Structure 1
């Protein structure tokens, strides 16, 4: 009888050791605040390092070649594998590259055969591949592009904040 009671008692003691307060954070760039209020933003929140946008499938790009009307204001969408096709430059693997890297690629391809000193500009027109979903008790739930250094607080702010019935605790 003693063995049957001891087994559940030992299991309870072992499980209670797991219930202690765990350590939060762990990463070097995460600060855990013990407060009921959020801290005021500081300079590092406003001027944090920017994360370059990497082009992905179905993103739309606006490409201009300065001085060449036929190659200017071209709106091009990447295909499902992240490639684009640009006149005189051919097919370019755009997935995983920044707009600046695409500019350099198009410039080098045009310079090799067709244009003496091409000046290419690549801008993002529409981002589809890097989006987040903000759902629940926010004022405007939906899909939003990941721009710069996106955090949970910025995602909620992008959705215009919490709604009336949001549980903030």
Structure 2
């Protein structure tokens, strides 16, 4: 009696089980949020497309106005033209505007900038009303989900997938619903398995 055919059949079954386990692992695997997610919530706010700013130039009412950061990441400012805003903090933008105004326009410009309206957050997946919603500083994923109509009956209420731009790179990670979100984040509520 030869065991060679038996060994081949067993090898095929083991291979099939290994492939099935790999496929299932791919379905259930996820990337937890990297450390940079939490660190980004503690950093100074960085401007990006969709933010609306209130820029004031002391004793210059013609320059004081609201400006929106365009898709290219700039604001169009009188006299000096396009000013790069994407990735800048408010103090850095103030300095940039002031230094350009000093180049032949104003002697000692006093520029202040503040956020008039933050870029929105996006809530998708198993929520009552998926869409774009206004961001409020300190907002959590759970707050954003509540604004979007709450979880559907199939929504996973333990954790969510958040997509965020960090240092110019778009990263997605899984995080608990009590995590702080940032302006521009996309929150995706997955369907629960059971």
State the TM-score, normalizing by the size of structure 1: 0.61
Structure 1 residue 143: Cα displacement: 0.9
Cα 1:6/1:137, change in 2 over 3 Å? closer
Cα 1:13/1:166, change in 2 over 3 Å? closer
Say how many residue pairs are matched. 149
Structure 1 residue 65: Cα displacement: 0.9
Counterpart of 1:109 (choices 100, 110, 131) is: 100
- What residue number does 1:86 align with? 77
Cα 1:97/1:28, change in 2 over 3 Å? closer
**More strand, by proportion:** 2
Provide structure 2 residue ranges, at least 5 long, that are not aligned to the other structure: 158-191
Give the alignment of 1:1-169 within 5 angstroms: 1-12=5-16, 14=18, 27=34, 50-72=42-64, 74-128=65-119, 131-145=120-134, 152-159=141-148, 161-163=150-152, 165-167=153-155, 168=157
Cα 1:10/1:28, change in 2 over 3 Å? same
Cα deviation code 1:31-80 (max 9, x no counterpart): xxxxxxxxxxxxxxxxx9534333223443221112222122x1223333
State the TM-score, normalizing by the size of structure 2: 0.55
RMSD: 3.9
Cα 1:138/1:86, change in 2 over 3 Å? same
Structure 1 CA distance, aligned partners of 2:138 and 2:81? Answer: 33
Provide structure 1 residue ranges, at least 5 long, that are not aligned to the other structure: 31-47
SS at match of 2:112: strand
